[in-house]
Amino acid sequence: MESLKTIWSTVVQEAVAENVTLDDVYQLIETPKQAGHGDLAFPCFILAKQQRKAPTVIASELAERLHHPWIKRVVAVGGYVNVLFHRNIIANQVLKQILDNGSTYGSNSSGNNANVPIDFSSPNIAKPFSMGHLRSTVIGQSIARLAEKNGYMPIRINYIGDWGTQFGKLIAAYTLWHTEYDTKADPIRALFQMYVRFHKEAKHTPELEDAGRQWFVKLEAGDADALALWRWFRELSLESFNHLYQRLNVSFDLVRGEAYYNDKMKPIVNELKSKGLLEESQGASVVRLDGEVPPCLIQKKDGASLYATRDLAAAFDRHTSYEPTRMLYVVGQEQALHFVQVKEVLKKMGASWADQVEHVSFGLLLSGGKKMSTRKGHVVMLEDVLDEAKNRALASIQARTPHLFEMEKVAEKVAVGALIFHDLKHYRQNDVEFSLEQMLTFEGETGPYLQYTFARAKTLLEKGGWSEADQHTITEIDEEAWPIVKALEEWPAKIKQAWQQTDPSLIARHLLSLAKAFNTFYSQVRIIDDSANKATRLTIVWTVATVLEDGLKLLGIQAPEKM
């Protein structure tokens, strides 16, 4: 079934074919602010100059010429041509599609199974998994699920920070002070405390920085002691990360650290040299870039590699391994210059696929208007936040439904869902203010609100005794159900748009619209009664539950059937 927006665009474009393209018309289509004015509207202002007529005149003339079997009425409202569709015809089409396809409704095969490596989460080893890595993790996971829904083959890559000068500093700190910390009870926290101490003491003891650099040079040279400590740090960290990923319902196809590219950087450096792209600058090696883009630093003066060197090696490796159509990097917007530089270096190296590299940037996570980050050795740990959220969710559920089965499991789903949805409902490039109080309420624009709406729908279906076998033709829908039908009809287009723009907030916001329409319907119509419309009403409930569950899954959120 073509979308209503496509149908209306086609009808309008055929009537004014000599003036605008179908895409022009499609981009101009609006939804009237007042529902009584129609379902969709075409503004005629773009035609006024071409036809040398007032938009109101053009709208009146067009309204007489626009026809389609699914269109009930076309009216001119000011300079707009508004359309009202036949409710029951559209409802039959939409609901039947969902009944036939279930959770695959809205899926498409436009990707043709093309590979899309998605680099996300990417925490640093030997540090607690802080709230600072939450955004990359949940945005990346949702984008991967959107890729699948659009027929692509995502390769979820956790490119962990396990290399760099900071590990030389950590090894130096460990060799100096490890006997003073309890590395058995909570090794990650102990290592982090040593790392913080290193930076504090280095301000007054500059030779510590030299010791850190020397240890990293040893690490890059394959020193046995340095490598043994580094491997231990890495093993402890991955074990800690995996526990959190399980709680967040996040999975990866490939966990690969920066260290993997140690033996793959030299060919990159050699190629840059052979093409005359590498220059010396204050003892370091750089690639000068065009325009106002600063030079890209490839090697430090002590020969140590940098992020750019490793990211170049990783880009070539991913291109060779997967032959992708897009290569996505879900990384904070603070790294925008870095990705511009990497992309420009790839172009200078002759990589015809350089434009496949896409930086999917996002804003900051704020607390009290300030960035959530390491501050005087303190971090906001994700596990602590999840535990607190779960305790609050449990208290709320106990007050609402004291005899709920498996209350602990439901509370965990609500807590995780609240945290994820609070992030993903915002356009990713916007900053997000963190607030447990706001995200855990069961009213308003929250994850628990959507989960509760889904549970309400499932309860209605159970009480009404509805089954798919009972459903036949939709005879007549209530006027109050029309906003639901429109939201369901728009679902496939939202899935395409969210993928194309790598923006999960489009899914989150649409689910809120659907849930609000459903809850209004629920408050205005007796769904379970003895009327002839009972089966149709329950069918609508089932389709809402199906799309809500699928949409929450796209966001990485589980939907409890009872709350």
Q: Which domains, and CATH codes, for the chain?
A: 4-85 (3.30.1360.70), 120-371 (3.40.50.620), 382-555 (1.10.730.10)
| Token representation of residue 535 | 């089966």
Reduce the DSSP state of residue 77 to 3 states and report it. strand
The amino acid occupying position 276 is G
**Cross-strand pairs, 432:** 365
The amino acid occupying position 198 is F
Distance CA 324, CA 346 (A): 16
Distance CA 421, CA 452 (A): 14
| Token representation of residue 478 | 């209530």
Reduce the DSSP state of residue 367 to 3 states and report it. strand
| Residues in Cβ contact with 120 at an 8 Å cutoff, skipping those fewer than 6 apart | 136, 137, 139, 140, 141, 143, 144, 156, 157, 158, 328, 329, 330
- What phi and psi, each to the nearest 5 degrees, are found at residue 558? -85, 150
Where do we find the tokens 């199974």?
113
| Residues in Cβ contact with 5 at an 8 Å cutoff, skipping those fewer than 6 apart | 26, 29, 40, 490, 493
| Token representation of residue 181 | 């910390």
* Helix 491-500 / helix 505-524 crossing angle, nearest 10 deg: 160
The amino acid occupying position 514 is L
- Angle of CA points 498, 246, 257, to nearest 5°: 80
Q: What is the 3-state secondary structure (H, E, C) of 315-341?
A: HHHHHHHHCCCCEEEECCHHHHHHHHH
Distance CA 144, CA 443 (A): 29
**pLDDT tens per residue, range 302-316:** 666 678 999 999 999
**Order of strands, edge to edge, in the sheet holding 40-43?**
40-43, 80-85, 71-77
- What phi and psi, each to the nearest 5 degrees, are found at residue 153? -110, 95
| Residues in Cβ contact with 237 at an 8 Å cutoff, skipping those fewer than 6 apart | 123, 125, 126, 127, 160, 162, 188
**Cross-strand pairs, 360:** 330
Of 550, 451, 547, 551, the residue nearest 504 (C-alpha): 551
Alpha helices by DSSP H, 115-264:
134-149, 165-177, 187-202, 207-221, 224-247
**pLDDT (tens digit, 0 to 9) for every residue of the chain, 563 residues total?**
789 999 999 999 999 877 789 999 999 999 998 888 899 999 999 899 888 999 999 999 999 999 999 999 999 999 999 999 999 999 999 999 999 999 999 999 999 999 999 999 999 888 888 888 899 999 999 999 999 999 999 999 999 999 888 899 999 999 999 999 988 888 988 998 999 999 999 999 989 999 999 999 899 889 999 999 999 999 999 998 999 999 999 999 999 998 899 889 999 999 999 999 999 988 889 999 998 999 999 988 766 667 899 999 999 999 999 999 999 999 999 999 999 999 999 999 999 999 999 999 999 988 777 776 544 445 688 988 999 999 999 999 998 888 889 999 999 999 999 999 999 999 999 999 988 888 999 989 999 999 999 999 999 999 998 887 766 667 789 999 999 999 999 999 999 999 999 999 999 999 999 999 999 999 999 999 878 788 899 999 999 999 999 999 999 999 999 98
229 in Cβ contact with 172 (< 8 Å): no
Dihedral of CA atoms 312, 313, 315, 316 in degrees, nearest 10, equals 120
| Token representation of residue 482 | 């029309």
Model pLDDT, residue 375:
42
Q: Return the half-sphere exposure (C-beta side, CA atoms, 13 A cut-off) of residue 298.
A: 25
Model pLDDT, residue 472:
61
| Token representation of residue 270 | 């050699």
The CA R_g of the chain, rounded to the nearest whole Å, is 28
**Cross-strand pairs, 305:** 299
Distance CA 317, CA 70 (A): 52
| Token representation of residue 253 | 């196809």
